[in-house]
Amino acid sequence: NAGVTQTPKFRVLKTGQSMTLLCAQDMNHEYMYWYRQDPGMGLRLIHYSVGEGTTAKGEVPDGYNVSRLKKQNFLLGLESAAPSQTSVYFCASSRIAERSYEQYFGPGTRLTVT
Amino acid sequence: RKEVEQDPGPFNVPEGATVAFNCTYSNSASQSFFWYRQDCRKEPKLLMSVYSSGNEDGRFTAQLNRASQYISLLIRDSKLSDSATYLCVVNKGGYNFNKFYFGSGTKLNVKP
Mean pLDDT of B4-18: 95
Gap from B13 CA to chain A (nearest CA, Å): 21
Which residues, at least 6 apart from B75, have a Cβ–Cβ distance to it below 8 Å?
B18, B19, B20, B59, B60, B82, B108
* Per-residue pLDDT at B95 exceeds 60: no
Query: What is the Cα–Cα distance from A70 to A68, expressed in whole angstroms?
Result: 5
Evaluate whether B24 touches B3 at the Cβ level (below 8 Å). no
Q: Is A6 exposed, middle or buried (0-12, 13-18, 19+ CB in 10 A)?
A: buried
Greater confidence (A46 vs A50) lies with A46
- List the single best residue of A102, A104, A109, A110 to mutate versus B (max B Cβ within 10 A): A102
Is the minimum CB–CB distance between A28 and chain B shorter than 8 Å?
A: no
Mean pLDDT of chain B: 91
Q: CB distance A101–B91 less than 8 Å?
A: yes
What are the chain B neighbours of A35 within 8 Å (beta carbons)?
102
Gap from A77 CA to chain B (nearest CA, Å): 20
* Per-residue pLDDT at A38 exceeds 60: yes
* Per-residue pLDDT at B110 exceeds 90: yes
Q: What does the pLDDT read at residue B30?
A: 81
The number of residues in chain B equals 112
* Per-residue pLDDT at B98 exceeds 70: no
Mean pLDDT of B26-30: 83
pLDDT tens digits, A73-113: 999 999 999 999 999 999 999 887 655 568 899 999 999 99
What are the chain A neighbours of B93 within 8 Å (beta carbons)?
101
Q: What does the pLDDT read at residue B97?
A: 54
Question: Which among B49, B99, B104 has CB closest to A40?
Answer: B104
Q: CB distance A101–B96 less than 8 Å?
A: no
Mean pLDDT of B33-58: 92
Question: Which among A50, A94, A108 has CB closest to B96?
Answer: A50
- β A10-13/A109-113 pair status: parallel
> Which string of b and e fits A9-18 if b means at least 16 CB within 10 Å?
eebebeeeee
Q: What does the pLDDT read at residue B2?
A: 82
Question: Which among B32, B43, B99 has CB closest to A45?
Answer: B99
What are the chain A neighbours of B34 within 8 Å (beta carbons)?
102
Query: What is the Cα–Cα distance from A24 to B21, expressed in whole angstroms?
Result: 33
Which residues, at least 6 apart from A98, have a Cβ–Cβ distance to it below 8 Å?
none
Q: What does the pLDDT read at residue B96?
A: 43
A and B: number of Cβ contacts within 8 A: 53
Mean pLDDT of B44-66: 92
